[in-house]
Structure 1
Amino acid sequence: MRNTLILGASGGIGAALTAAATNRGDAVTGLSRSRDGFDITNSTSVAQHLGSVSAPYDLIVVATGALEIDGAAPEKSVKNLNAKAMLDQFALNAVGPALVLSHAARLLPRDRPAVCAVLSARVGSIGDNKVGGWISYRSAKAAVNQVVRTASIELARTHPQSVCVSLHPGTVQTAFTERYLGRHPSVSAAEAADNLLRVVDGLSPAQTGRFFDWAGKEVPW
């Protein structure tokens, strides 16, 4: 039985991942801000909560994040940049996952395969950016991709069977995205969760430190 930790377990994708992992027989631990007081942007909260869980985990998924914070919508142009809104994006979408990954070596087993996955977004790809806009969110997701890449290199030295990756779940129908679906193809949170778990199940240590979409295709940095 796989021991699984879902962070952001009360959100749209996080709740769906929790349900999907439970349904397939995983022993799932879920943490969220609304239910458990888990504040991923606060180093003390992260340390206290991750220090109390039943490690080691065969799968850790960081499913926290937000497109809008305190009502600040994604910028249509760099000319609309607001310093606080940008810092808020970095705190939640980059610093938070980094704080979790700072505990990864203790949370993952050394003697068997394990995966630590951070939900990123295709718009965080510098190479795939062809339309501009959304600079704060894009930049925070690009930053978390660098965090994942760096953490994967360090983790491989002590946990050679582990995989640490960024994952793009696709455009998912949640409260997180409902104002931005537009003409983009989207899937339900349940379908997104199944897709992500399928990708996770197919990963090998040779793929650590990389960025994959919901179909298992590599996304350019």
Structure 2
Amino acid sequence: MTRRALVIGASGGIGTALSAALATYGSEVTRLSRAGDGLDLTDPTSVERAMSVLRGPFDTVLIASGILAPEGARPEKSLAEIEAENLARVLAVNAIGPALVLKHLPRLLPQDAQCVVGVLTARVGSIGDNHLGGWYSYRASKAAANQIVRTAAIEISRKRKQAIVVSLHPGTVETPFSKAYSGHAKVTPNEAAANLVAVLDQLTPADNGGFFDWAGKPVPW
């Protein structure tokens, strides 16, 4: 299990639970969030300021930030509901934000020891698993995040052979994020966190660049 962990989005429901779960296993957990640190993932200057003061190495990094839709809006049910401003906002938070964090990670990871970076995306970001349609902005943002994670995994592993960089689907978690949507069975943040920590503990460098659900099963791209 991890010794030093970094959790981005640590004030959210699942981010808080992940931080607590890692601490329970004896990890020294560094937490970053908008609420606690003023971290704005849509602002490169804010990300630079927060990440530049960190000192590694961290053997576990989790990016647990994200939005379902902008405040006051909802996921689109049809093409007619697409609004450029809302689409841009969701992409900024869910895809560009993680990319800006990943940009700073190579110097914070160990050179010659196993480490894992998990970015929480979502199964609805899977193009191959999309059978229902709808939710254009959210699906597109998570698909973009998955591509960013996959590409970062390739680059990081060139110099850090034991690095594991993956996308993670936590399941539908009972948070304000999902409160208005009751179509799926939900788990508590603590249950989701325990599941994800168990998955992280089972991953090996051979899994680098993968996309896994809360049970450790591969999710189609």
TM class by shorter chain equals over 0.9
Aligned pair 1:17/2:34, yes or no? Answer: no
Offset of 1:9 from its aligned partner? 0.3
Match of 1:127 in 2: 128
Q: Which string of whole-angstrom CA distances, capped at 9 and with x for unpartnered residues, describes residues 12-51 of structure 1?
A: 0000001111111100000000110111111111111111
Match of 1:38 in 2: 39
- Report the AA paired with residue 64 of structure 1: S
Unaligned runs of 5+ in 2: none
Taking only the aligned residue pairs, the percentage that are identical comes to 54
Match of 2:205 in 1: 205
CA distance in 2 between counterparts of 1:102 and 1:119 reads: 16
CA distance in 2 between counterparts of 1:54 and 1:191 reads: 30
Point out the more displaced range, 63-72 or 204-213: 63-72
Aligned pair 1:190/2:190, yes or no? Answer: yes
Match of 1:146 in 2: 147
- Report the AA paired with residue 139 of structure 1: A
CA distance in 1 between counterparts of 2:103 and 2:54 reads: 15
Classify the secondary structure of the residue corresponding to 2:18: helix
Equivalent runs, 1:67-216 vs 2, <5 Å: 67-180=68-181, 182-216=182-216
CA distance in 1 between counterparts of 2:141 and 2:172 reads: 18
Q: How many equivalent pairs are there?
A: 220
Classify the secondary structure of the residue corresponding to 1:218: coil
Match of 1:8 in 2: 9
CA distance in 2 between counterparts of 1:183 and 1:175 reads: 15
Classify the secondary structure of the residue corresponding to 1:74: coil
CA distance in 2 between counterparts of 1:104 and 1:78 reads: 36
- Report the AA paired with residue 142 of structure 1: A
Classify the secondary structure of the residue corresponding to 1:22: helix
Q: Which string of whole-angstrom CA distances, capped at 9 and with x for unpartnered residues, describes residues 123-165 of structure 1?
A: 0000000010000000000000000000000001011100000
Offset of 1:86 from its aligned partner? 0.2
Offset of 1:183 from its aligned partner? 3.4
Classify the secondary structure of the residue corresponding to 2:5: strand
CA distance in 2 between counterparts of 1:186 and 1:89 reads: 23
Aligned pair 1:28/2:29, yes or no? Answer: yes
Offset of 1:202 from its aligned partner? 0.6
CA distance in 2 between counterparts of 1:152 and 1:39 reads: 24
Classify the secondary structure of the residue corresponding to 1:179: coil
CA distance in 1 between counterparts of 2:7 and 2:93 reads: 16
RMSD: 0.8
Offset of 1:84 from its aligned partner? 0.3
Match of 1:219 in 2: 219
- Report the AA paired with residue 41 of structure 2: I
Offset of 1:68 from its aligned partner? 2.2
Q: Give the TM-score normalised by structure 1.
A: 0.98
